[in-house]
A and B are shown apart, each in its own frame.
Chain A
């Protein structure tokens, strides 16, 4: 038997149409509104779902091909990193603490993003956004997995890498990234995309990815750098989705503008607060620094973001509320965040330390207005205490912000020496915030944040393993005396110093 006709090869455009729009249909057994109950309640009006533009024109079959190719390259590098003892090539073992923070704070968010985009994709009735969300959902799962694999090598030698998901769900400072994402996941699909795709991936991602991946490159961590390269083309796609969803909402109906603006305000501030962790990583945790937080903020938010919001102004969108507060804080949040972790590093799964003389010189050059006045004296005092054998640990639990859940360590916008206190009353209860940004978010939807699982209050309520710090740390799965406390004297440091001295001996 012979094949009568040869299958006709499809053109690119036709193929794209069939593999995306062609996969959807108008439901008839049930009305569309019943099948897609979540894409209207947020108040966003869409008149023409087909107006969605996918600039990448990527279809699922091509997607698998690209991704598997990238995967092969990535795993070859990860293998060779392990075989060649790549961890010996990093600048200093203090660097590894940045990776600990990434693995416990960021990688679980990639997994949550995988879930979030799967959910959002299910709930858009338009095929274009659905396919885009589907691909991003798979990307995010891939990122979570490849990050874990890239960083698992460090788990063989260094402390604090052993239980990231458990820690993410319980440890006090990890409630900051966790609650950020929980907030996004429990919103409707349009707010979720504004939060994650636009505010985070489009506006702020350069402030997360560039510091970590360049930081890895500068500090000899080839496994993490390679992950970064492997994720880069995905990130480009994610950013495009972020901008597309905003333009789509804004072009569909004028009534969408105030809703989108409010989400931008909220998610700018939430994302910015989360980035305080990145700020301290850049200024304190990289033995070889790339640029200061302030420089990164100016380059990636003030310049790049400024141009973006200028472009969006034709839709009636203005820059996010409180961006001017972020500008005022740019020469202090990294120091304030590092101060928080220095205070409580006995309860953390990574180490902190005092900056050395060279590092302080760098900090004072980068932060001429604040460093020598406020933060250098602080480190001098701590160094004095440490020299007396009394390394300072704060043995009282901190007050937390109800919205961002960070200890209330941020200062008044116009006074870097006074803690910023804000509060609201709701149904007879008082709630506290670190900033006007966090207070506004609460005030708009208080019912959401009165449920905040604030780690300090949970400990005092008796829900975290016991009343003693040791019991709480056990409940966190923090190995006491290894994962926590100052870098000086830690098992990480001892091991690293031994490797380095063995190397010197072998060379001489």
Chain B
């Protein structure tokens, strides 16, 4: 539906992939851990190894939570853009199907936040 406007109304999206200096924006959410108030946004080179996100970046992002060190990454359930997905830790984000502004959600079975309160 076009915008109700007085004349021609066409604009470039402000958040196109090429505006991020070679990175893609990726969004991540650790489900049932609402102490982290919202999903986070992280820019990564698309050829970054998926495992590096979990091993090198996650500790800074989620390490403050006492559950973090208890996570068994082999049991984590993932979705990518709302579809179930099994990441290959040794392949790149792009090879894992990541694209610009994709959403990754993950559930850590048995870990539902502080006293099971989803925090």
Please indicate the chain B residues that have their CB under 8 angstroms from the CB of A419 in the complex: 29, 31, 34, 38-39
Query: Contact residue range for chain A?
Result: 35 or more
Task: Check B36 for interface membership: any CB of A closer than 8 A.
Answer: yes
Q: Is the CB of A450 within 8 A of B41?
A: no
Known A-B contacts A398-B37, A399-B27; the reply to A445 vs B61 at CB < 8 A is: no
Please indicate the chain A residues that have their CB under 8 angstroms from the CB of B15 in the complex: 429, 450, 452, 454, 457
Q: Is the CB of A373 within 8 A of B41?
A: no
Q: Is the CB of B41 within 8 A of A399?
A: yes
Q: Is the CB of B6 within 8 A of A423?
A: no
Nearest chain B CB to A445 CB, angstrom units: 5
Q: Is the CB of A394 within 8 A of B21?
A: no
Q: Is the CB of A460 within 8 A of B4?
A: no
Q: Is the CB of A377 within 8 A of B114?
A: yes
**Which of B1, B42, B102, B119 interacts with A377 by CB under 8 Å?**
B119
Within 8 A of B (CB), among A325-347: 336, 339-340, 342-344
Q: Is the CB of A421 within 8 A of B6?
A: no
Pairs A–B under 8 Å by Cβ, sample size 29: A336-B37, A339-B37, A342-B37, A377-B115, A394-B40, A395-B60, A396-B61, A397-B40, A399-B27, A399-B39, A409-B38, A411-B34, A417-B32, A419-B34, A421-B105, A423-B81, A427-B13, A430-B102, A443-B1, A447-B11, A448-B3, A450-B14, A451-B11, A451-B13, A457-B15, A457-B20, A457-B41, A460-B23, A461-B20
Chain A 340-380, CB-CB to B under 8 Å as 1, else 0, gives 10111000000000000000000000000000011001101
Total A-B pairs in contact (CB under 8 Å)?
Answer: 155
Task: Check A462 for interface membership: any CB of B closer than 8 A.
Answer: yes
Known A-B contacts A378-B35, A395-B60, A460-B41; the reply to A42 vs B14 at CB < 8 A is: no
Within 8 A of A (CB), among B7-57: 9-16, 19-21, 23, 25, 27, 29, 31-32, 34-43
Please indicate the chain A residues that have their CB under 8 angstroms from the CB of B105 in the complex: 421
Nearest chain A CB to B33 CB, angstrom units: 10
Task: Check A43 for interface membership: any CB of B closer than 8 A.
Answer: yes
Within 8 A of B (CB), among A432-473: 432, 443-448, 450-454, 456-457, 460-462
Nearest chain B CB to A400 CB, angstrom units: 8
Chain B 85-119, CB-CB to A under 8 Å as 1, else 0, gives 00000000000000111110100000001110111
Q: Is the CB of B101 within 8 A of A429?
A: yes
Q: Is the CB of A41 within 8 A of B4?
A: yes
Task: Check A495 for interface membership: any CB of B closer than 8 A.
Answer: no
A316→B21 CA distance, assembly (Å): 51
Q: Is the CB of A418 within 8 A of B64?
A: no
Which residues of B are in contact with A by a Cβ distance under 8 Å? 1-6, 9-16, 19-21, 23, 25, 27, 29, 31-32, 34-43, 60-61, 64, 66, 81-82, 99-103, 105, 113-115, 117-119
Q: A395-B60, A423-B82 are in contact. List 4 more A-B contacts (CB 8 A).
A: A43-B4, A187-B4, A374-B119, A447-B10
A454→B41 CA distance, assembly (Å): 12
Nearest chain B CB to A230 CB, angstrom units: 37
Nearest chain B CB to A403 CB, angstrom units: 13
Nearest chain A CB to B92 CB, angstrom units: 20
Known A-B contacts A432-B101, A448-B3; the reply to A418 vs B31 at CB < 8 A is: yes
Task: Check A413 for interface membership: any CB of B closer than 8 A.
Answer: no
Please indicate the chain A residues that have their CB under 8 angstroms from the CB of B103 in the complex: 399, 421, 423, 432
Please indicate the chain A residues that have their CB under 8 angstroms from the CB of B32 in the complex: 417-418
Task: Check A131 for interface membership: any CB of B closer than 8 A.
Answer: no
Q: Is the CB of B41 within 8 A of A398?
A: yes
List the B residue with the shortest CB-CB distance to A41.
B6
Please indicate the chain A residues that have their CB under 8 angstroms from the CB of B43 in the complex: 460
Within 8 A of B (CB), among A376-429: 377-378, 380-382, 385, 390, 392, 394-400, 407-409, 411, 417-419, 421, 423, 427, 429
Task: Check A37 for interface membership: any CB of B closer than 8 A.
Answer: yes
Nearest chain A CB to B68 CB, angstrom units: 13
Q: Is the CB of A340 within 8 A of B38?
A: yes
Within 8 A of B (CB), among A155-182: none
Task: Check A38 for interface membership: any CB of B closer than 8 A.
Answer: yes
Please indicate the chain A residues that have their CB under 8 angstroms from the CB of B16 in the complex: 429
Q: Is the CB of B38 within 8 A of A430?
A: no
Q: Is the CB of A378 within 8 A of B117?
A: yes
Q: Is the CB of A392 within 8 A of B41?
A: no
Nearest chain A CB to B32 CB, angstrom units: 6
Interface centre among A373, A374, A430 (most CB of B within 10 A): A430
Task: Check A319 for interface membership: any CB of B closer than 8 A.
Answer: no
Please indicate the chain B residues that have their CB under 8 angstroms from the CB of A339 in the complex: 34-35, 37
Q: Is the CB of A461 within 8 A of B35?
A: no
Interface centre among B16, B20, B34, B118 (most CB of A within 10 A): B34
Nearest chain A CB to B75 CB, angstrom units: 20
Please indicate the chain A residues that have their CB under 8 angstroms from the CB of B29 in the complex: 399, 419, 421
**Which of B2, B21, B36 interacts with A343 by CB under 8 Å?**
B36
List the B residue with the shortest CB-CB distance to A408.
B38
Q: Is the CB of B35 within 8 A of A381?
A: yes
**Which of A407, A453, A454 interacts with B37 by CB under 8 Å?**
A407
A445→B1 CA distance, assembly (Å): 6
Known A-B contacts A336-B37, A396-B60; the reply to A430 vs B11 at CB < 8 A is: no
Please indicate the chain A residues that have their CB under 8 angstroms from the CB of B66 in the complex: 381
Q: Is the CB of A378 within 8 A of B4?
A: no
Q: Is the CB of A432 within 8 A of B37?
A: no
Task: Check A306 for interface membership: any CB of B closer than 8 A.
Answer: no
List the B residue with the shortest CB-CB distance to A453.
B14
Known A-B contacts A417-B32, A429-B15, A454-B14; the reply to A343 vs B37 at CB < 8 A is: yes
